Amino acid sequence: MAMFEVDEIHTFYGNIEALKGISLTVEEGECVTLIGSNGAGKSTTLRSISGLTPPRTGDIRFDGQNITRTPPAEIVKLGISQSPEGRRCFSRMTVRENLDMGAYLRRDKGIEEDMDRVFHLFPRLLEREKQKAGTMSGGEQQMLAMGRALMARPRLLLLDEPSMGIAPILVERIYETIGEINRQGTTILLVEQNANYALSVSQRAYVLETGVVVLSDASDKMRTNPEVRKAYLGG
């Protein structure tokens, strides 16, 4: 049994069916990516997993437990946290205050240890510790959003479009850090339009088109697949 399983979920916005029977698995320690164009259903998949837009039918299981109808806060407590599309930092709060918010459900004594880990992964956040989040660049806010998600000490980290709207030099730095987070033992489910970066850090990948999984394979095989190269890798 996989650590995390999505089984035939159908998710709707009103009468519009956004996900049409998506199934996927993530093994403990893996980095798995979902790639696809705008409107493919990638972010909706993560919203369904997080409990923000629960599926109408189908099942989502974490460590064998069905979490399909579990409230978002309880899902975080179970060990799943998300860095959302568009970053969604608390603009009037400082970097440290944003990171503290990531640990708001925790009552253990390891919070400062995890704060140190985030500052080690993202040294720029330590430099900006007392700065208001809204005054930082898009790349810095992305680092903050990821750090905030890590402060929940997740076993499964959901990353939604971490390269969106960010200068290329910072995208490279962020993806180096995603690789490091995975090597440190955090399981990652990554949603990304930039397939080159996503396939460089993941072990397996799923291709989504209009709410349907049309292809799944090892990431290195995806990179050499002619159809994937033509559609998502620029050649």
One digit per residue, the tens of pLDDT, for the chain of length 235 reads: 799 999 999 999 999 999 999 999 999 999 999 999 888 999 999 999 999 999 999 999 999 999 999 999 999 999 999 887 767 887 888 999 989 888 887 788 889 889 999 899 989 899 998 999 889 888 888 889 989 999 989 999 999 988 887 888 888 888 998 999 999 999 999 998 889 899 999 999 999 999 999 999 999 999 999 888 888 876 5
For domain 4-88+154-232, which CATH number applies: 3.30.300.130, 2.60.40.1760, 3.90.950.10, 3.40.50.300? Answer: 3.40.50.300
pLDDT at 102: 84
* Listed residue (150, 149, 156) closest to 25, CA to CA: 156
> Residue 152's closest CA among 204, 198, 117, 192?
117
Q: What is the pLDDT of residue 190?
A: 95
pLDDT of residue 171: 86
Q: What is the pLDDT of residue 167?
A: 81
**Beta pairing partners, 131:** none
CA distances from 117 to 86, 107, 129, 222 (A): 23, 18, 14, 32
The contacts of residue 230 (CB under 8 Å, 6+ apart) are none
C-alpha 116/C-alpha 109 separation (Å) is 13
pTM assigned to the model: 0.89
Beta-sheet strands, E only, within the chain: 4-13, 16-26, 31-35, 57-62, 65-66, 80-83, 156-160, 187-192, 204-209, 212-218
Tell me the pLDDT tens digit for each residue of 190-204.
998 889 899 999 999
Instruction: Determine the pLDDT at residue 234.
Output: 67
Beta carbons within 8 Å of 107's beta carbon, 6+ residues apart: none
Cα of first residue to Cα of last residue in the chain, in angstroms, is: 37
Residues constituting the chain: 235
